[in-house]
Amino acid sequence: MAIDDQAIPAAAPRTTPSPASPTEPSRPTTWSALRPLVLRLHFYAGLLIAPLLLVAAVSGLAYALSFQAEKVVYRHELRAPVGDQVFPLSAQIGAARDAHPEATVTAVWPSAEEGATTRVLMSSPEVEEGMSLAVFVDPYTAEVRGALPSYGSSGALPLRAWISQFHADLHLGELGRNYSEMAASWMWVVALGGLLLWLGRRRSTKRALFVPERGPKSRRRTLSWHGSVGLWAVTGLVLLSVTGLTWSRYAGENVDLLQNKFSGPTPTVSAALGGAAAGGGADGGHEGHGAGGHTAPAATGPDVGIDKAVESAAAAGVSGKIAVTLPADGKGYVVKETDTQFPVHLDSVAIDPADGTVMDELRFADYPLFAKLTRIGIDAHMGVFLGLANQLALAALMVGLILLILWGYRMWWLRRPTKERTRGFGRPVPRGAWRKVPVTLLLPMAAATALVGWFVPMLGISLLVFLVADAVLGLVARRRAA
């Protein structure tokens, strides 16, 4: 029954008031104290490092697609009509020597499938230092179908080699490598910081954590896309960052020291004819950082020939997709499996050229764990671990990274003080975030940051420069306010 406004309300029953309990201020949680610091680091790192990440993402996308483009552009050299018989490797090498008598054969990649040509690698004055001249021979007719510069241990041809070099150093040499190392050094920091911020947000449903919101264009919707896509991509971005650092200039040296100390160097098969031990070293990396062209002098003495060497290697279990290094002065044949698709086949043997016996063998199963992970990580970073699936995953990840960067800049732009302003920049995150972090948490974080900054020098140096510049700007702002 409704009560009229003019009706006299009935007297309410008396209740004994409970004594007021003093309200204790709620203690801030660890995340509430840490969030402003993570937000400030994510904001400035994303703002300043994003241009480097954008260049790396665009060039990485082009590199991921270059594998298939290479098959189209160089189809004449890479493919041959299938014939009835296959010529011996010695005859195919002879055809390459006849076509390029000024060059020296250093290695051979026999045709691994029907319709594929044999690649004879030669050191030649026609190509730049660190590269090989790849002569493509039809295995069914022993005719040369062409010759192209070949770069690195993966045998990248000019198109992929150019893109790879641009991704690695912008074609600026050692100076340009600083850009890619800086991007790799910061990418995992930005990715993990963004993950913490996204997981720490309040949301009505768990679905909003994984699925972007729909609705009118706004900063909220942009943030939803930025966070959701970042959540799906964070694992891949961190793995790309870590694997990229393994062969970087400065952090890569620390990774090698760590591997040598706890796991030992990456083993290599010994091909020395006198039984001398071979030194270890990783055989991987972007083109130009792995095995390239070399001008080792040819071996002298008895030689059973490459066909007998390949037969001996096959009898020892090394067959399929292989690469054969010809004997150099004081060394024998080295036959390596090069099938990097899972499960990998990367065993290798050394063959005595005098009688074709196996001098040494190395199984990938015998690699130290750290060396296995490094090799698989580098192959996955380069898009050769799982073939086409690996390359498509890399391309999708690079598209996601490009969108994350663009959405990040859009959110910064939308933080302008007023909507009426057509110029100006977004508001920065306030200073003083570190003061809100408890000392018991701040000191271990500072020690961990110093340790990571030492291990990843480009991250440590740039972070120190940022802190100094930020402190100077804060001091200037306070003096102006005073």
Q: Say if residue 294's pLDDT is above 60.
A: no
Dihedral, CA of residue 151, residue 157, residue 158 and residue 164, to nearest 10: -60
Which of 28-37, 135-144, 289-298, 344-353 has the least mean pLDDT? 289-298
Partners of 425 in the beta sheet?
Answer: none
Q: How would residue 14 be classed by pLDDT, with cut points 50, 70 and 90?
A: very low
Q: How far apart are CA 46 and CA 407, in angstroms?
A: 11
What's residue 315's pLDDT?
97
- The confidence score (pLDDT) of residue 300 equals 62
Pair 163, 285: CB distance under 8 Å: no
Residue 457 has pLDDT above 60, yes or no: yes
**Furthest C-alpha separation in the chain:** 122
Whole-number pLDDT of residue 152: 83
Q: What pLDDT is recorded for position 21?
A: 47
Return the minimum-mean-pLDDT range out of 23-32, 209-218, 382-391: 23-32
Closest Cα to residue 249, out of 156, 183, 194? 183
pLDDT of residue 164: 95
Q: Which residues contact 316 (CB under 8 A, 6 or more apart)?
A: 349, 358, 361
Least confident of 9-13, 241-245, 433-437: 9-13
- Across the chain, mean pLDDT equals 86
- pLDDT, position 301: 72
For residues 352-377, give the mean pLDDT: 94
Residue 117 confidence (pLDDT): 97
Q: In percent, how much of the chain has pLDDT > 90? A: 63
Alpha helices, DSSP H only, in 170-288? 174-199, 207-210, 219-245, 251-262
pLDDT at 28: 64
Residue 423: pLDDT band with limits 50, 70, 90: low
Question: Do 156 and 427 meet the contact criterion of CB atoms below 8 Å apart?
Answer: no
Q: Tell me which of 5-19, 21-35, 389-403 is least confident.
A: 5-19
pLDDT of 438 strictly over 90: no
Rounded-to-integer distance, Cα 439 and Cα 339, Å:
52
Count of other CB atoms within 10 angstroms of residue 223? 20
* H/E run at residue 348: strand 348-351
Rounded to an integer, the average pLDDT of 21-45 is: 76
H helices of 344-456, in order, are: 369-382, 388-414, 439-455
Q: What is the pLDDT of residues 200-234, one digit of tens each?
A: 988 888 888 999 988 788 889 999 999 999 999 99
CB hemisphere CA count around 120 (13 angstroms): 29
Confidence of residue 353 (pLDDT cuts 50, 70, 90): very high
Query: For residue 4, what pLDDT band results from cuts at 50, 70 and 90?
Result: very low
pLDDT over 70 at 373, yes or no: yes
* pLDDT bracket for residue 428 (50, 70, 90): low
- For residue 26, pLDDT over 80 is answered with no
pLDDT score recorded for residue 460: 95
Q: Which residue has the higher pLDDT, 149 or 40?
A: 149
